Structure 1
Amino acid sequence: MHEFRIDGPITGGTPAALAAFLKTARGAAVQITINSPGGDAIAGSAAYAQLRGYRGAVTVTVEGVAASAASLIAMAGRPIQMHDGAFLMLHEACGGAEGQAATLRDRADLIDRVSAVYRRAYAERSGKSEAEIASIMEEETWFTAQEAVAENFADVILQPLRVAASIDLTIFDFRNTPSALRAAIQRKPSMTEQTTLQEPQAATIQEISAIARRANLGIDWVEAQAKAGATREAATDAGLDAFAAAYAAQVRPSTVRVLQDEGDTARDAESEYVAARILGRSPVGPAAGLRGHTIADIMAHRLEQRGQRLGRGMAAEQIFARLTTSDLPNLLTNGASRAMAELYPTVRTRLVELAQVRDLPDFRPTTLIRLAQHKPLDLVNEGGEVTAAFPLENGEQIKLATFANVFPVSREALVNDDLGGLAEWMSASAQGAAARERLLAAGLLTAGSGLGPTLSDGLPWFDAARGNIGTNAVLSATALAMAVASMRSLKDGKGNTVFALEPFAIVVSPEREYLARQLVAELTATTTRAEVQPYNLTVIVEPALTGNRWWLAPRPVTRRCITMGYLDGRQMPTVETFTTPEILGATLRIHFDVAAAVQDPIGWVTNAGG
């Protein structure tokens, strides 16, 4: 099984490393091992989305600590394993900012939206209501392995493994760190433990991939190093040797520097600084040292790293004239991409939570295969033949489409270090891409006057013959009870009941938001902790929907009727920057390759709403 380790803080580079790892895994089962105090909340959200959208099996193991953003990533596991003595911590998102009142308000709003993303993920995994999760997060709640399993945040408890002491929790201002964990961190390891910790460990696939990228080596080299069980030091030496052999005739001091960690750290800090400028927040990590610098200052430093001598006080115009054709595009692309990774998860439609995510390799139509029947397993006598009990039938087709926009950054804006227009465009583009994604998803619900698109069997998604249309009624406790009964009685084309369907979300238009939330609040208020609560309902309000019609959707882990497809699994817009001789300055382009389709009609129930 392919393993990806998250040791230490979650940073802006974590999602990129995880994406490279998942691409290498190619749909095979993966093991995500976590021992982390958390870190970048947005990066944690992006990593969680990548794992939830991965088509292969994902097993998560918490070795010591999965706190803050790391606990969200852990929620993507099916199953989630925790070593006895490990801890899981949930709390609200936090962050800082500087600037005028409007900037601070925008930052506070962003943090609220990030916390909402976390609440929904925790609620989906545990089956608790978002109100319960909000209370847990507000209190900064720490769970032992036993408590996490009892509260449905984990599935399996493994044998104790003493690794938590390797985590530095002092870099985060946690207020409720358990005394047992604090003592474990402060206790010095014995000589036996020290010897064990000092034994060389095989490099993780992401460490080998990082070395390969720096040395311009291919996937075959990565797989060979991983198969050989190379340590990080051995892989680094092998990468340097391979790089030297391939480029011996072209080696220059500036070329070798790309293999040095200092150069990578500088590039990462530059990207973080540009992203912070675009988002109007404070830069974090090494990028904090760039506060107050202009784009020209950053480019001047890059030129000096290459050995160019710049006169004191050289004008920005002269600095830009010395850049290569890729310097400025790379800086803007990396910074804008990081900003997009923070912005986009906060504006996406919640309908995506209910969908199956597919990685589509190209723009050709792809057939979504589904089960033709759902009969129980057959009894097989000793020596008897095992027959195919789950035949497949041709399903619907999904085909990617591209949606794009461009924004010119003028030469004057770059010289004047004015990124205000770019910041506005990035915010608008993120919302525009999210609007397109929501229109595609919501369009499946509104097609056919609310009955959905006509599927390959000749019937619309919602049809009386499928049993997924309720008697026309205003949303109420009685109408909801009938919809729940209908969902649990749904049958496949062969007449077999589709078991395990569990009501999860009421989907409504803004006109019916108050009514839906009031109903769910009343149902929740009548249930105490001591009573049996078979499920908790959440309300999804989709602005792209109109009218009185409402839908009841099953818990995603039991059924996903909608499929969202993304080119190479990239669930957010791609940002590119390019320059041309005809244009002074640079042009940023955003494009989003996305599609939506109904994969299986069995699961959802709809009602015209009276």
Structure 2
Amino acid sequence: MYSHIEVTDDAQDKFIRGTGAWLIRRSGHASEVERAAKLGAYGSAGIELDPGEFRGMTLADLARECLERRGVDARRMQRSELFSRALNLRTGYQTSSDFALVLENALHKLLLGAYALTADTWKRFCRQGTVKDFRASGRYRTGSFGVLDDVGESGEIKNKAIPDGEKVEISIGTKGNIISISRVALINDDMGVFQDLATKFGRAAALTIEEHVYRELRKNSGLGPTQPDGNPFFHASRSNINATSSGLSVAGINADRVVMAQQKDPSGNEFIDLRPAVLVIPIGLGGDARVINDAQYDTTANTFQKPNSVRGLFRDIVDTPRLEGTRRYLFADPNIAAAIEVAFLEESGSEPRLDMRKGFEVDGISWRVVLDYGVAFIDHRAAVTNAGA
């Protein structure tokens, strides 16, 4: 016989936090989780990784503790039965066992930590937005009135037509996989499973977006994805290509800058006068690009010291192995005018979501990792490309 142990909400929260902290400590990734917390991966509250009284517990100890806290006598259980009972025990309105929640708590933090720390570059030249659902969402750019008309001697003031605007659409989809922890791994107290699964899937989620952005940029021989008019994003009809291909140089970059500045608003009445802020290039051009951007004098002027007319033009230079050849891209500051937007489902946020269930395909427990997002090229005026030489 045994008596039921009442577990309060406060005690339950403390148990989940403490045991989760200990599993993270045991995984060997506590320092990464702490670094991710400083980047805001876990919200403004941060994260607490002090396991307290739960320090030193094995997975079997945790499973036994979960059962006994719910009034189940687990003292004589074999390890196989222990984990099976702990994973399947539900109390009252709970949809998951305490033990499954402990594992999920640790797994989720490791997943988000790896996601936050993965080095990605798309955030440096793309805008991050949200959409409410999976239907196509509009992004609008309005025209302008141009200048005011003269008022004649009679004092008549003419009506001004409301200028037309532009609309582009962005839609999101879902990417995901299932990860599983087998009963064998639990019985063997294999903490490496958290390292191998959680951190790798967190990194995979982040790299999914990174690769998606560059895959779109590489389409049509580097001119970007096909737009509704049947032409690539970078096209002569959009005036966002420097048709005079040139190598990476002060003169070439200055010519690219002029092309961007000459773009007009959708109504054609007003120069937008944008300036490039981010240069995106293949990895092999990164060194030369930084020299040009920082040099006091024109690096190609050999006869005399000619001032560098594009010195400091770029606040950021993104050189990546995901691009090849000599083509370069100049982007305006995405906070001012974004050529590309990565949108996330509003209710899910910009992080991967973790859903849990008892394993069917495997003898253990499974989690589904999904990420809801979309990539759209939304404003051709905010970027210029040059094929290079």
Q: TM-score, structure 1 length as denominator? A: 0.51
- Whichever of the two has the greater Rg, that structure is 2
**2:5–2:71: 8 Å Cα contact kept in structure 1?**
no
Query: In the aligned structure 1, how far is the partner of 2:314 from the partner of 2:297?
Result: 8
Structure number with greater CO (CA < 8 Å, separation at least 6) is: 2
Match of 1:320 among 73, 83, 105: 83
Query: In the aligned structure 2, how far is the partner of 1:378 from the partner of 1:301?
Result: 77
- 1:418 deviates by 0.4
Query: In the aligned structure 1, how far is the partner of 2:145 from the partner of 2:201?
Result: 47
Match of 2:121 among 340, 350, 353: 350
Whether 2:195 is the aligned partner of 1:426: answer no
Match of 1:298 among 52, 62, 86: 62
Whether 2:278 is the aligned partner of 1:505: answer yes
After the TM superposition, which residues 67-466 of structure 1 pair with which residues of structure 2 at under 5 Å, given as runs?
254=6, 257-258=8-9, 260=10, 262-278=11-27, 280-281=29-30, 284-287=48-51, 289-311=53-75, 315-323=78-86, 324=89, 326-327=96-97, 328-364=99-135, 366-375=136-145, 391-395=164-168, 397-466=169-238
Residues 539 and 320 of structure 1: CA distance in aligned 2, closer, same or farther (over 3 Å): same
Q: What secondary structure does 1:594 align onto?
A: strand
Q: Which amino acid aligns with 1:349?
A: D
Residues 303 and 554 of structure 1: CA distance in aligned 2, closer, same or farther (over 3 Å): same
Please name the residue that 1:234 is paired with.
Answer: none
Q: Which amino acid aligns with 1:495?
A: G
Q: What secondary structure does 2:143 align onto?
A: coil
Query: In the aligned structure 2, how far is the partner of 1:433 from the partner of 1:336?
Result: 14
Query: In the aligned structure 2, how far is the partner of 1:375 from the partner of 1:535?
Result: 30
Q: Which amino acid aligns with 2:105?
A: N
- 1:467 deviates by 2.3
Query: In the aligned structure 1, how far is the partner of 2:189 from the partner of 2:247?
Result: 56
**1:254–1:306: 8 Å Cα contact kept in structure 2?**
yes
Q: What secondary structure does 2:382 align onto?
A: coil
After the TM superposition, which residues 9-24 of structure 1 pair with which residues of structure 2 at under 5 Å, given as runs?
none
Please name the residue that 2:335 is paired with.
Answer: 557
**1:332–1:577: 8 Å Cα contact kept in structure 2?**
no
Residues 350 and 279 of structure 1: CA distance in aligned 2, closer, same or farther (over 3 Å): farther
Please name the residue that 2:349 is paired with.
Answer: 570
Query: In the aligned structure 2, how far is the partner of 1:432 from the partner of 1:479?
Result: 37
**2:166–2:266: 8 Å Cα contact kept in structure 1?**
no
Query: In the aligned structure 2, how far is the partner of 1:427 from the partner of 1:519?
Result: 38
- 1:525 deviates by 12
Match of 2:321 among 543, 564, 570: 543
Q: Which amino acid aligns with 1:481?
A: N
CA-to-partner distance for each residue in 1:177-231, whole Å, 9 max, x for gaps?
xxxxxxxxxxxxxxxxxxxxxxxxxxxxxxxxxxxxxxxxxxxxxxxxxxxxxxx
Query: In the aligned structure 2, how far is the partner of 1:588 from the partner of 1:360?
Result: 25
Query: In the aligned structure 1, how far is the partner of 2:170 from the partner of 2:271?
Result: 24
**2:293–2:312: 8 Å Cα contact kept in structure 1?**
no
CA-to-partner distance for each residue in 1:439-477, whole Å, 9 max, x for gaps?
221123212112222323444221223222122111122
**1:502–1:558: 8 Å Cα contact kept in structure 2?**
no
Query: In the aligned structure 2, how far is the partner of 1:306 from the partner of 1:400?
Result: 42
Q: Which moved more, 1:409-418 or 1:563-572?
A: 563-572
Residues 294 and 497 of structure 1: CA distance in aligned 2, closer, same or farther (over 3 Å): farther
Please name the residue that 1:603 is paired with.
Answer: 382
Please name the residue that 1:34 is paired with.
Answer: none
Q: What secondary structure does 1:322 align onto?
A: helix
Please name the residue that 1:594 is paired with.
Answer: 373
Q: What secondary structure does 2:30 align onto?
A: coil
Q: Which amino acid aligns with 1:566?
A: F
- 1:553 deviates by 0.9
- 1:539 deviates by 1.1
Q: Which amino acid aligns with 2:140?
A: R
**1:551–1:607: 8 Å Cα contact kept in structure 2?**
yes
Residues 368 and 581 of structure 1: CA distance in aligned 2, closer, same or farther (over 3 Å): closer
Query: In the aligned structure 2, how far is the partner of 1:368 from the partner of 1:292?
Result: 53
CA RMSD of aligned residues (A): 3.4
Q: Which amino acid aligns with 1:401?
A: G
Aligned length, in residue pairs: 345
Query: In the aligned structure 1, how far is the partner of 2:319 from the partner of 2:160?
Result: 45
Residues 548 and 444 of structure 1: CA distance in aligned 2, closer, same or farther (over 3 Å): same
Query: In the aligned structure 2, how far is the partner of 1:341 from the partner of 1:478?
Result: 44
Residues 517 and 533 of structure 1: CA distance in aligned 2, closer, same or farther (over 3 Å): closer
Q: Which amino acid aligns with 2:85?
A: R
Match of 2:263 among 474, 490, 499: 490
Residues 560 and 275 of structure 1: CA distance in aligned 2, closer, same or farther (over 3 Å): farther
**1:358–1:566: 8 Å Cα contact kept in structure 2?**
yes
Q: What secondary structure does 2:226 align onto?
A: coil
- 1:495 deviates by 1.9
- 1:412 deviates by 1.5
Query: In the aligned structure 1, how far is the partner of 2:126 from the partner of 2:14?
Result: 37
CA-to-partner distance for each residue in 1:380-423, whole Å, 9 max, x for gaps?
x9xx999785643332x333232222233221210121021331
Query: In the aligned structure 2, how far is the partner of 1:263 from the partner of 1:297?
Result: 16
Residues 561 and 304 of structure 1: CA distance in aligned 2, closer, same or farther (over 3 Å): same
CA-to-partner distance for each residue in 1:93-144, whole Å, 9 max, x for gaps?
xxxxxxxxxxxxxxxxxxxxxxxxxxxxxxxxxxxxxxxxxxxxxxxxxxxx
Query: In the aligned structure 2, how far is the partner of 1:607 from the partner of 1:431?
Result: 32
Q: What secondary structure does 2:124 align onto?
A: helix
Q: TM-score, structure 2 length as denominator? A: 0.76
Residues 367 and 266 of structure 1: CA distance in aligned 2, closer, same or farther (over 3 Å): same
Residues 309 and 598 of structure 1: CA distance in aligned 2, closer, same or farther (over 3 Å): same
Please name the residue that 1:26 is paired with.
Answer: none
